[in-house]
Amino acid sequence: MTRTAVSTADAPQAIGPYSQGIASGGLVFCSGQLGLDPATGQVVEGGVVAQAERALGNLRAVLAAAGCTFADVVKTTVYLADISDFPAVNEIYATFMTEPAPARATFAVGALPKGGLVEIEAIAVHPGR
């Protein structure tokens, strides 16, 4: 099975030994995206709402680089530094997803890289396969 890296300058560059995404077997696996400004690599200001919007914007850019959109996403995982942010993140998340909404899991975690408040990853089915 062939694995192809997915990369775009429209999302933050990886901050470790991983790819922004991997396409393989008609699927696209997007690494978790934080609310980082792609130009600076720094967490955006404005709290969890601004970070969720930026994380989803970054995820959209990685999906686009793979030839996908949110309509192709079948599964997401949301990581929150504080589970009490669930309603606010859920509200922003709903504005990005198309119906039917993808399957999803949401977890509270002890900490996220760079002091982030939210991280979101996705799996998509490439529309051409």
Condensed to tens digits (0 to 9), the pLDDT of residues 23-41 reads 999 999 999 999 999 999 9
Q: Is the pTM of this model over 0.75?
A: yes
- Is the dihedral angle over the CA atoms 115, 18, 15, 74 positive or is it negative? negative
**Structural contact between residues 23 and 4, judged by C-beta atoms closer than 8 angstroms:** yes
Structural domain for 26, as ranges? 4-125
> What φ, ψ does residue 79 adopt, rounded to 5°?
-115, 130
User: How many CA atoms are closer than 13 Å to the CA of 10, on its beta-carbon side?
Assistant: 12
For residue range 42-92, list pLDDT tens digits in order: 999 999 999 999 999 999 999 999 999 999 999 999 999 999 999 999 999
Over 80: is that where the pLDDT of 15 sits?
yes
The rounded distance, in Å, linking the Cα atoms of 46 and 43 is: 9
Q: What are the strands, taking DSSP E only, across 35-117?
A: 73-80, 103-108
Q: Is 91 exposed, middle or buried (0-12, 13-18, 19+ CB in 10 A)?
A: exposed
Which band of pLDDT confidence, cut at 50, 70 and 90, is reported for residue 114?
very high
Overall domain count for the chain: 1
Which band of pLDDT confidence, cut at 50, 70 and 90, is reported for residue 128?
confident
The rounded distance, in Å, linking the Cα atoms of 23 and 3 is: 6
CATH of the domain at 93: 3.30.1330.40
> What φ, ψ does residue 97 adopt, rounded to 5°?
-85, 150
Residue with tokens 């993140």: 89
